[in-house]
Amino acid sequence: MYITDKILPELPAPSSSKGVLHWLKTNLFSSPVNILITFLGLFLIYKIVPPAIQWAFIDATWVADTREECLGEGKGACWAYISNRFGQVMYGFYPPEEYWRPNLAGILLILLTSLLFIKQMPKKVWIGAFILLVFPFIAYFLIHGGSFGLSEVGTDKWGGLMLTLIISLVGIAAALPLGIILALGRRSTMPVVKSICVIFIEFWRGVPLITVLFMASVMLPLFLPEGSDFDKLARAMIGIILFQAAYVAEVVRGGLQAIPKGQYEASVAMGLSYWKSMNLIILPQALKLVIPGLVNTFIALFKDTTLVLIIGLFDLLAIIENVLGSDSSWLGFFTEGLVFAAFVFWIFCFSMSRYSMALERKLDTGHKH
Amino acid sequence: MSEANKQTDQKFALQMINVNKWYGDFHVLKDINLDVTQGERIVICGPSGSGKSTVIRCINHLEEHQQGQIIVDGIEITGDVKQLEKLRTDVGMCFQHFNLFPHLSILDNLTLAPRWVKKIPKAEAEATAMKYLERVKIPDQANKFPGQLSGGQQQRVAIARSLCMDPKVMLFDEPTSALDPEMISEVLDVMIELADEGGMTMLCVTHEMGFAKQVADRVIFMDAGQIIEENTPNEFFNNPQSERTQLFLSQIIAH
Amino acid sequence: MAENNTHLKPSKPPIWNDPKYRSLFFQALLMFGLGLFIYTIVQNTLTNMEARGISTGFAFMSEKSGFDILQSLIPFNSDSTYGRTFIVGILNTLLVSALGIFFATILGFLIGVARLSNNWLLSKIATVYIETFRNIPLLIQIFFWYIVVLRAMPSARNSHSLFDSFFLNVRGLYLPAPVTESGFIYTVITFIIALIAVFILKNWAKKRQEATGQPFPVLLTSLGLLILAPLLVFLVTGSPLTWDVPVLKGFNFKGGISVIPELFALLLALTIYTAAFIAEIVRSGIKAVSHGQTEAALSLGLTPSQTLRFVVIPQAMRVIIPPMTSQYLNLLKNSSLATAIGYPDLVSVFMGTTLNQTGQAVEIIMMTMTVYLTFSLLISAFMNWYNAKMALTER
Ligand SMILES: Nc1ncnc2c1ncn2[C@@H]1O[C@H](COP(=O)(O)OP(=O)(O)O)[C@@H](O)[C@H]1O
Ligand SMILES: [Mg+2]
C-alpha cells in the first residue's frame, strides 16, 4: 500500500534533453551517417547560395542605359535588361498611355475579391456571381475598349503578365460552371448524359495541352461557317476553357462523392427538385470542400499558360523569350529574363499553394468537429 | 515501497526505480517507483493525461525515459538494439486502437513476428496462431482481413497476436475504450481468462472497475505524472485514502 | 373492396410528368442536338477545306517527307515517308518519357524520403527543392536547361570531361558505347543463367524460411550472383568487350553514344520537375501509414528494417502507386513541350513539321491526339486493375 497527497513540483528537463546543443545533436549529428549528410548539405548550400546571391544582388546592375554598362569583369545579373522595358514585360504591346485601363480593371478585381475574404460580409454569393458574370464584361470594355469613348486596343496588342493573368483568370472563371455541369452529368443516372460527360472529360484529360492549342488555332477555324473568323486569343481561350473544364469536373466530382448519401436523401425527402437540391444543399457543401483542389488546378493552369507562346501569343514568358531576347541592342541576357519569369511565376504559384494548404487544414479540422 | 529497491531482484518481473520523463519541457513522469512480481496483475487508472500510457510505453521502450531505471526480467533497459529485440519479445502490448496490419490476413498478422523474429517454421507458427485464435474464440476468421472484423474481434486478434510471441509480461493500454459498449465484455472475458490461467504478468490501463475488482492484485492510481495511491482493489474502491482518488472514483461512478 | 384493389397497378402520372419519360425525352433531345452539332461541324469543315484546296484522307502518309530528323531510333532520311515520320515521333516521345519516368522515380523517391529524414538540414533541402521546382512552369525550366545551361557549355575542343571518356559540350553529351566481340555471348548467357538461378534461389529461400524459419539473405546473394558470375565468365573468356570511347575529330566528337542537347535538356527538365511531384506523393504515402502501425510492429520485436519491409512499405505503396501512375502520364504528356526546343518528338515532327508541309490539320491532329489518348487509356486501365486488386486483398 502506498499513498501520497503530495504533488511533486515540475522540474526542468535535464540539460541533456533540451537546449541548442541537444537540438543540434538530435537533428543534425545523431549518427555518423547524419553527420556526413549534414556536412554534405552544408557544402551544397555553400556551393550554391553565396554565388547566387553574389550574381543576383551584390554584383547586379540595376540601372543601365545600354547593354555595355552591364558587361565587364565581375558584373553579375543585368536587371536593367528587364527594368528598361518593364512596360512590355507587364503589358506586351499595349499602348503605354492606356496602361491605366488594365490597371483599373486589376484594382477593381482585387477590391471585389477582397470583399469575399471579409468574414462578416453579407451576400457573398452575389459578390461571387458578380465577379464571375458581370466583371468580365466590365474588364473587357476597359481593356479592349472600342466603346464609351475608349480607343480600341486589339487583342494582338495584349501581352506580358497582363495576358498571362487574363488567360488564366478567364480560363478558370469560364471552366468553373462548365466543369460543375460536367461533374453533375458524370454522376447522372441518365446513361446518355453520363456517357457524353465521361467521354468529354476523359478526352480532354488524356491529351496534352499543346495538342489542344494546336487544335484551337488550326482546326477550330475549319469548324466554323465560312467567313466567321475570330482572333487567335479567343481561339486559344476556347481550347483552354474546354481543357480546364475537364480537370475542374474531376475535382468537383471528388467533392460530390465526399458528401454523405444522407444529404442527398434528405434533400429529396424535403421535396426539392433535382436542381433545387443541387443548388441549395449539395453544391454549396461540395464546392466548399473542393476549393483547395480548385486552387491546385488553377495553379496548374497558371503554369500552363506559358504554352501559348508556342502558338504565337505573347504572354509573360513569350515577351521575355521572343521580344526582349531578340532585341539586337540587348543581346545576351537570356538568363536574367528566364530567372525573372521564373521568379514571377514562383511567387504566384507558391503563395497560392500555401493558401490552398491552409484551406485544406482548416477544412480538415472543420470536419472533425 | 517508498524506499526504492536498488537491487535487481530476479523475482521481480518488472521494476521501475525513480523514473522521470519529460516531453520537451513538460515533466510527464515524476519519480515513478513500481515493483511487479512475476504473475502479478496490476490495473492502472487515473484521469486522462496523467501519464498512464507513457508509463506503459516506457516499459517496452516505445518511449525513452531520461532518469531512473526500468528493469524487465532482471535486465535494465538501455535502448541497445539487440537487447531491445529480446525485451520486446518478452513484453507483449495491446493498443487502444488495435493497430492490426490492414494489408495482412488475420493469420498473417499472427504469424509475422513468430516467423521473422523467432524464426519459427511457417506451419508451426500457423498452428500456434490457430491455437490462440481458438482461445480468443475466433478461429473461423483466420483468413479474413482486419477491415472485415468488428472492433471487439480486432482487439481479440491483437491480443492473440501478442500471445503468439509467448511473452512474459503483457501490457494493455485502454484495450476497451475504443470499443462499442456491447463489444467490451467479449474482450474483457478474454483478458479475464488469460489472468485466470495464471503465470502471466499483466499491466493493464483501464477504467473498467468490474474487471479491476475481479482480476487485479493491485490497483495503481496516477495523477499529474505520479503514482498517488496503490492498494488492493478492495481497499482501493471501498476505502480510497487520497483526496484525488476519491474525486476520480466519484467521477467514474457518476458516469 | 380491398381484394379488388390488389389487382390494380399503382396509378401513373400523366406521361409528360412521368420522370421516366421526361428523362428519356431529355436524352433523346440531347442526342439529337449533339448529332446536329457534329453534323454542322463536319459539313463546315468539308466546305472550308474544299475552299482552301486542302486534300483529305490519309494518302499523305505514304508520301515522301523531304526533311531530316535530328534523332531517330529507326533509320530515317529525307526519302522516308510521313508515315515513318509518325513512327519516329512516337518512338522519340516514348524514349524521352521512359528515361524521364526512370530517373524521376529514383530522384523523387530519394527526395521524398529525404524530406522525412530526421536530419533537419536534409529535410529542409528537400523541401526547398520541392517548393522551387514544382512552382516554376516546366517550359521555363526546359528553356533554362537548354539555353542557359547547355548553350553555355564549352565548344567540343574544350569539353568538360570525366575520365576522358564522358564529354559534355555545347553539342551535347557523349558517352562511351559498349562494343561486343564474339565471346561476349557467354557473358550474356551466364547473366541469363544467373537470373534464372536468382529466381530459383528466391523460391527456395522462401520455402526454407517457411519450413525452418531460417531467413536467407536473398538480396545480397542475388546481387553477388548477378554481378560476380557474369564478371568471372567475362574475365575467363578474355574480356570480349571494348568501349568505343568518343574522340575529338576536327570540330566534333566521333564514336560513342551521343545524346543531343535537346534530349538532354528535355530529360533534365522533365526529371527534375516530375521528381518534385513524386517526392510529395512518396512523402504523403509514407506518412499515411499511421505511427501506430510502426509501433505495433516494433512492439512485436520486429527490427526497424523488418518493420519497413513487412509493414510500412507494403501499405505506403498502395497509397503511392495510383497518383504515381498519373504523374507518369503527366510526364508523357509534358514531353510534348519538346517542340519548344526542337527535340523531335511526336508533336514536333508530326503536328509541327508534317502539318506545316501537308496542311492536313484534321487528320494529323486527330492522329496525334489518338496516340496520347491510347497511352492514357492504357494507364487508366492499369490503375483500375490495380485498385480492384488492392480492394480485393483489403476487404
Ligand atoms: N509525444 C508526445 N509529445 C508531447 N507530449 C505528449 C506526448 N505524448 C503524450 N504527451 C502528453 O503527456 C501527458 C501524458 O500523456 P499520456 O501518457 O498519453 O496520458 P494518459 O494515457 O494517462 O491519458 C499528456 O498531457 C499528453 O498531452
Ligand atoms: Mg492513454
- Give the minimum alpha-carbon distance from B201 to chain C in angstroms, rounded to a whole number: 17
pLDDT at site A232: 87
Is residue A89 domain-resident?
no
| Residue A109 within a domain | no
Residue A365 pLDDT class (50, 70, 90 cuts): low
Tell me, yes or no, whether A302 lies in a domain.
Answer: yes
Q: Considering only residues A157 and C112, tell me which one the structure prediction assigns the higher pLDDT.
A: C112
Domain assignment of residue A224, yes or no: yes
Top pLDDT among A239 and C219 is at: A239
Q: Compute the average pLDDT of residues A108-134.
A: 85
Residue B2 confidence (pLDDT): 40
**Whole-number Cα distances in Å, C121 to A26, A29, B218, C12, C117:** 12, 10, 49, 73, 9
CA distance A137 to A140: 5
Residue B6's pLDDT is 44
Q: What average pLDDT does this structure show over A258-272?
A: 79
Q: Which domain holds residue A190?
A: 171-318
Rounded to 5°, the CA angle C74-C76-C82 comes to 105
Find where cell 501559348 sits.
A308
pLDDT at C307 (0 to 100): 93
* Chain C residues in contact with A321 (beta carbon < 8 A): 143
Q: What is the pLDDT of residue B146?
A: 92
Query: Mean per-residue pLDDT for B165-174?
Result: 93
* A267 pLDDT more than 90: no
- Please tell me the predicted confidence (pLDDT) of residue C392: 64
Determine the pLDDT at residue C63.
81
* Residue B242 in grid coordinates: 487520497
How many Cα neighbours within 13 Å face the side chain of B44?
27
B contact chains, 3+ CB pairs < 8 A: A, C
User: Residue B217's pLDDT is what?
Assistant: 92
Say whether A2 and B30 touch across the interface (CB within 8 A): no
Q: What's the pLDDT at B5? A: 46
Instruction: Judge whether C170 and C151 are in contact, CB under 8 Å.
Output: yes
Is it the case that residue B21 has pLDDT exceeding 80?
yes
Count of C-beta atoms within a 10 Å radius of residue B82: 8
Asked if C63 has any chain B CB less than 8 Å from its own CB, the reply is no
**CB-CB contact of A267 with A241 (8 Å):** no
What is the B173 CA–ligand 2 centroid distance (Å)? Answer: 7
Residue C273 · residue C141 · CB < 8 Å = yes
Give Cα A90 to chain centroid, integer Å: 17
Q: Are C357 and C66 in contact (CB under 8 A)?
A: yes
B91 has pLDDT over 80: yes
Nearest by CB: C48 against A210, A222, A334: A222
Greatest distance between any 2 Cα atoms in chain A: 100
Second CATH level (architecture) for the domain C82-156+261-390: Orthogonal Bundle (1.10)
Ligand 1 pocket, Cβ-based, cut-off 6 angstroms: B 23, 26, 28, 46, 48-54
User: Could you tell me if residue A78 is inside a domain?
Assistant: no
Share of chain A above pLDDT 90, in %: 34
Domain extents for chain C? Answer: 82-156+261-390
ipTM here: 0.90
pLDDT at B241: 85
Of all residues in chain A, the one with the smallest CA distance to C144 is A338
Residue A177 forms part of a structural domain:
yes
Distance CA B236, CA B231 (A): 5
- Burial class of residue B171, CB neighbours in 10 A (0-12, 13-18, 19+): buried
Tens of pLDDT along chain C (395 residues)? 445 555 667 777 777 677 788 888 888 998 999 999 999 888 888 888 888 877 788 878 888 877 888 887 888 887 788 888 999 999 999 999 999 999 999 999 999 999 999 899 999 999 999 999 999 999 999 999 998 888 778 877 777 878 877 888 878 888 888 887 777 888 888 889 889 988 998 888 888 888 888 888 888 888 888 888 888 888 888 777 778 888 777 777 777 788 888 999 999 999 999 999 999 999 999 999 999 999 999 999 999 889 999 999 999 998 898 899 999 999 999 999 999 998 999 999 999 888 888 888 888 999 999 999 999 999 888 888 888 887 766 54
**What average pLDDT does chain B have?**
89
Count of CB atoms situated within 10 Å of the CB of A125:
9
Residue A6 lies in a domain: no
Q: Would you call C98 an interface residue with chain A, using a CB distance cutoff of 8 Å?
A: no
CATH number at residue A244: 1.10.3720.10
Do the Cβ atoms of C101 and C328 come closer than 8 Å?
Answer: yes
Choose among A38, A219, A221: nearest Cβ to C119.
Answer: A38
Candidate of B23, B172, B205, B228 to mutate for ligand 1, largest count of ligand atoms within 8 Å of Cβ: B23
Residues of chain B contacting C290 with CB distance shorter than 8 Å: 99
Mean pLDDT calculated for residue range A347-356 = 93
pLDDT of B48 > 50? The answer is yes
Which residues of chain C does B101 touch, with a Cβ-Cβ cutoff of 8 Å?
A: 293, 296-297, 310-311, 315
Instruction: Specify the pLDDT at position C35.
Output: 93
Into how many domains does chain A fold?
1
pLDDT of residue A366: 59
pLDDT given at position C364: 92
The pLDDT assigned to B9 comes to 47
pLDDT tens sequence across A270-287: 777 778 878 777 888 888
Size of interface A-C (CB pairs under 8 A): 147
- Tell me what the mean pLDDT of segment A167-175 comes to: 92
Neighbours of C20 (CB within 10 A): 10
When comparing pLDDT for A97 and B69, which is higher?
A: B69
